[in-house]
Amino acid sequence: MVTFTFILCSEPYKYEAVDTLINLGEAIIKKRHQILGIFLYGSGVYNIKGDILTDESTRNLPDRLGYFCMKYDVKLAACSTWLSFSGIKSSEIIEGACQEGLGGLSELIAQSDRVIFFGPGG
């Protein structure tokens, strides 16, 4: 079994990073590998903001990400410094997510066989 950590650094809706992360994550789990955690960094912290307004034609990416993590028991953590910079309060974070410093990220990386970075492109 191979262990993975995902690092997500792009905001929801601007790119398809969250959709790609979830689709890849499901394929990894289907192959009986394990995802230890998803760490949100930079503008990626907006992916756990629970009060994003969506209509019927727009998918709710924070809800999809939270559901994925709960369903597969994947740790979902956001950088506490970037949450502070963004103004996101603890009460606005989706259920199951937590705040961690870079020490938490380094622990995930140390325990993982593979680390996959989802950035904004370029």
**Which among 42, 34, 22 has a CA at the least distance from the CA of 112?**
34
Residue with tokens 């603890």: 90
Dist. CA 8–CA 2, nearest whole Å: 19
Dist. CA 56–CA 72, nearest whole Å: 26
Domains and CATH numbers, the chain: 3-118 (3.40.1260.10)
State the pLDDT confidence band at 14, using cuts at 50, 70 and 90: confident
State the pLDDT confidence band at 4, using cuts at 50, 70 and 90: very high
The reported pTM is 0.93
- How many C-beta atoms surround the C-beta of residue 46 within 10 A? 21
Q: What does the CA dihedral 31, 33, 34, 35 come to, rounded to 10 degrees?
A: -70
Secondary structure letter of residue 4 according to DSSP = E
> Which 3 state secondary structure label does DSSP give 98?
strand
Q: What confidence tens digit (pLDDT) does each residue in 52-101 have?
A: 777 777 788 889 999 999 999 999 999 999 999 999 998 999 999 999 99
